Homo-oligomer: A and B are copies of this chain.
Amino acid sequence: MPLKIALAQVNLLVGGIRENLNKIVDTARHARDTLAADMIVFPELAVTAYPPEDLLLRPDFIAEADRAVDEIVARTVGIDVVLGFPEQGQGQLWNSAVVLRDGKRHVVYRKHVLPNYGVFDEQRYFSAGSQECVFQAKGVRVGLSICEDVWTPGVVEDSRREGAEIMLNLNASPFHAGKIHQREEVVRQRIEATGIPVVYVNQVGGQDELVFDGASFVMDGEGQIVYRAEEFEEQLGIVTFHGDRPEQAAIAPLYQEIVSDYKALVLGIRDYAVKNGFNGALLGLSGGIDSALVLALAVDALGADQVRAVLMPSRYTRDMSVQDAIKEAEALAVKYHVIPIEPAVRAFEEMLREVFAGTRKDATEENIQARCRGIVLMAMSNKQGSLLLTTGNKSEMSVGYATLYGDMAGGFAPIKDVPKLLVYKLARYRNSIAGVIPERVITRPPSAELAPEQKDSDSLPPYEILDPILERYVELDQSADQIVAAGFDREVVHRTISLVDRNEYKRRQSPPGIRITPRAFGRDRRYPITSGYRGTG
């Protein structure tokens, strides 16, 4: 008697308990009625979506989630529904998985391993469980586990000892480059030790700084993938088990890393805009590579008719920048406006003439230009209810090569975690599908165009040197000495690190953006602003 297990890779809404409940019920009924599934597995904390953060501290929120489980129980008779929810009892909260069967909560499993590193704060909310949970389904013994539980041997091996023949693993595992290989490798290790197949179900969708990539899968007792859902899409998969042997099913191929990165950014933008109810998006288009990429991403996420571009030339903007920006907008069929900022810049110069008398021009005057653009864009965003996208990349955010309240003004920063060299790669990848970014934009030396003949390389080392130093310092926690030992110039390393350290205050006020590396700025990297630490030793 085969056991048909559906994998519900769904895009849920954090905090949207009512919306999630309805989607869970509809999906479960569809799996039951159309796919003849015996069981459907939803992601970790599906009722609240992940991560609900401090909503978990609200008693009314927890109570509402609990009532939602009751309602799902009542509305999904005829199929086993396995889903995650925050379970309260004895003054504690657990990150739990429940099996709903025949109108009742059949069994409950409480997550053992609570990640409290990186972007995760689970020990802020949850107590750890300590009991395995193995239940029968059509004569097969099925074990439960949640996300981090499979990253160490404990739960899977203990469940095996308790007789589990199949392990379910409910996830909310966010994307970063290479993560999917890590996940499959870790699950393969568990299977090598136990010989039982694993059904891995992940959430999909964007949530503030995180993108959940889905890529749910089933791995058989030999560690072979027999099913894989497409990445970055909602998918309802189904795998038929004969005892502990899964039948072969559809296996979506894994994308190349550059494709995954691009799709993560598109999904992150789309979900931020849509889930927050924005009326389209807009951005400042400078003729540079960063805004060109963000424009393409925004159009791919929302559609050309939902995106507006604004060109805001100043006295330092070169003609070719304007020409290229117009070409980009036209190539993507995006409506654009040209609003020169000179009148506002001149007004501020005049207003500040007296207090600035006797001082020399410095970054202040450059910042005024960037901030005038910020005002124009925010005014359009306010008036239209559209989402202002910023265009700063991770290299700039790292060293503070950006103007607070200027080009950093906006609701969402799509490429905030994309280093400059990867910006170029993503631009070339996008052009390989259709040429939407003029070649000149990719090849000309990058410039902020806030001063005459300005180039990024006046202030910063070349990105070929800067980016690897930043990766070592920010993502890998290497010391200055280690980076120098790896072959980088000491003076450049020290200057770079010093810029990173000094610019934490800017990053703290930056809009959220999409994490695609193993360590983004934001919840992922919690540095003090006030700090006597000098990474340069």
Query: Which residues from chain A sit less than 8 Å from chain B, CB to CB?
Result: 13-20, 49, 51-55, 57-61, 64, 116-117, 121, 123-124, 206-208, 271-272, 275-276, 337, 339-341, 343-344, 346-348, 350-352, 354-356, 359, 362-364, 367-368, 371-372, 374-376, 378-380, 382-383, 404-405, 409, 411, 477, 479-482, 505, 508-512, 523, 525-533, 535, 537
Contacts and interface: CB of A to CB of B under 8 A. Distances in A.
A186 to B, nearest CB: 19
B343 A351 contact: yes
Given A60-B479, A527-B55, A532 B337 contact: no
Given A347-B344, A351-B344, A375 B379 contact: no
Contacts of A14: 528, 530-533
18 contacts: A13-B530, A13-B532, A14-B530, A15-B533, A16-B533, A53-B526, A53-B528, A55-B531, A58-B535, A60-B482, A61-B533, A116-B121, A207-B528, A276-B529, A352-B380, A356-B379, A363-B382, A364-B379
B367 A531 contact: no
B348 A376 contact: yes
A525 B55 CA distance: 9
A523 B55 CA distance: 14
Contact of A116 (B55, B116, B352): B116
A37 B206 CA distance: 59
Contacts of A275: 530, 532
Given A59-B477, A337-B355, A533-B16, A362 B383 contact: yes
A52 B531 CA distance: 8
A376 B363 contact: no
A431 to B, nearest CB: 30
Contact of A367 (B340, B378, B411): B378
A375 to B, nearest CB: 5
Contacts of A362: 382-383
Closest 7 CB pairs of A and B: A16-B532, A15-B533, A60-B479, A15-B531, A364-B382, A13-B532, A405-B405
A19 B532 contact: yes
Nearest to A409: B405
Given A60-B535, A367-B378, A404-B409, 12 more contacts: A15-B533, A20-B532, A51-B528, A52-B533, A55-B527, A343-B351, A344-B347, A348-B375, A351-B376, A356-B383, A374-B405, A509-B510
Nearest to A364: B382
A317 to B, nearest CB: 15
A16 B208 contact: no
A125 B14 CA distance: 27
Contact of A272 (B60, B526, B527, B530): B530
Contacts of A505: 276, 411, 511
A526 B59 CA distance: 16
A58 B341 CA distance: 44
Nearest to A120: B124
Contacts of A382: 362-364, 367
A344 B348 contact: yes
A375 B378 contact: no
B531 A477 contact: no
A394 to B, nearest CB: 17
A339 B356 contact: no
A48 to B, nearest CB: 9
Contact of A525 (B54, B510, B533): B54
B351 A378 contact: no
A382 to B, nearest CB: 4
Nearest to A522: B508
Nearest to A275: B530
Contacts of A52: 528, 533
A532 B15 contact: yes
Given A355-B339, A529-B208, A532-B16, A348 B53 contact: no
A511 B339 CA distance: 30
Contacts of A477: 57-60
Contact of A531 (B16, B64, B480, B527): B16
Given A343-B347, A351-B376, A364-B379, A276 B530 contact: yes
Contacts of A343: 347, 350-351
Contacts of A372: 375
A126 to B, nearest CB: 10
B531 A58 contact: no
B479 A59 contact: yes
Contacts of A51: 528
Contacts of A367: 378-379, 382
A363 B379 CA distance: 9
Nearest to A511: B509
A232 B509 CA distance: 28
Nearest to A366: B382
Nearest to A505: B411
